[in-house]
Amino acid sequence: MIINGANLNLLGTREVEIYGTASLKQVENLCRKKAESMQWSIDFRQSNAEGSLIDMVQEAQNKCNALIINPAAYAHTSIALRDALLNCSISKIEVHISNTNKREKFRHNSITAAAVDGVIIGCGINGYILALEAIALMQKNS
């Protein structure tokens, strides 16, 4: 499962100097193409609502082999999302399109990062592809 948080539905039009011009649908298509090449299927989702994201994480625990999450701004604020990720025992990677460490100081700390197996930041939308590859390597080596 690939979960996308708040405002990521606006990709391609929101702060293009930071996030680029690719839409979320283009990111989804990129991920689907990569997943198909790996003989995987993906469930690609987005929500602006914190509770919905928590529900998705809990659902992934029971239905999926791995989770990629871009919590967006919730990475810096949501203890509840962090708790849901901690309770989720499948492989998990956090992705951020921009390099959050080069942005506003409040974005430098991800409270959700400690609840996942790895974090990919600042690689643009290719971070999602790197996350799929990282999940494959993690599962191969376990």
Quote the strand ranges of 29-114, DSSP E.
Answer: 44-46, 66-70, 91-96
- Out of 19, 74, 108, 128, pick the active-site residue: 19
Give catalytic status of residue 96 as yes or no: yes
Torsion of CA 19, 22, 25, 26, to 10 degrees: -130
CA 14 → CA 48, 69, 98, 117, distances in Å? 14, 19, 13, 29
Give me 12's structure tokens. Answer: 């391609």
Q: 56 with 85: CB under 8 angstroms?
A: no
Strand partners, 121: 96
Active site residue 19: yes
Q: Look at the block and give the residue holding tokens 């409270």.
A: 111
Catalytic-labelled residue, pool 74, 76, 96, 108: 96
Active site residues: 19, 96
